[in-house]
């Protein structure tokens, strides 16, 4: 369950389903952020201020949208699919000499 925060990145990175929650009681700025995140991931947010929800598969993952989101907002293009600490360790190994 998500609104609009960087925690969305973790769901994308680990290919987990997301359900976006929105409300008429949120500020317009916050609602727009939630709508932007959900649109980028091909999702329809649930309006929690309403008792009526669209019948859609909220746990479905759009693989192409997740891939594009990751490329646009999370990682540098053409960077390795490796944890950052491994990239850093490899850099240190390659650029240091031990006498």
pLDDT score of 53: 66
Q: Structure pTM?
A: 0.65
Tokens representing 48?
């929690």
Lowest pLDDT segment from 2-6, 11-15, 36-40, 58-62: 58-62
User: Hey, how many other C-beta atoms are within 10 angstroms of the C-beta on 29?
Assistant: 9
Ordered alpha helix ranges (H), the chain: 7-13, 28-40, 63-69, 84-95
**Is the C-alpha dihedral spanning 89, 91, 94, 98 positive or negative?**
negative
Tell whether the model's pLDDT for residue 74 goes beyond 80: yes
Whether the CB-CB separation of 36 and 45 falls below 8 Å is answered with no
């Amino acid at each position: 369950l998500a609104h609009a925060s960087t925690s969305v990145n973790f769901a994308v990175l680990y290919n987990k389903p997301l359900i976006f929650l929105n409300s008429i009681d949120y500020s317009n700025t916050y609602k727009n952020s939630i709508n932007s995140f959900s649109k980028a991931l091909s999702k329809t947010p649930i309006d929690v201020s309403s008792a009526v929800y669209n019948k859609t598969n909220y746990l479905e993952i759009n693989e192409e949208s997740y891939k594009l989101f990751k490329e646009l907002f999370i990682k540098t293009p053409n960077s390795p699919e490796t944890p950052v600490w491994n990239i850093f360790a490899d850099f240190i190994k390659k650029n240091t000499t031990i006498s």
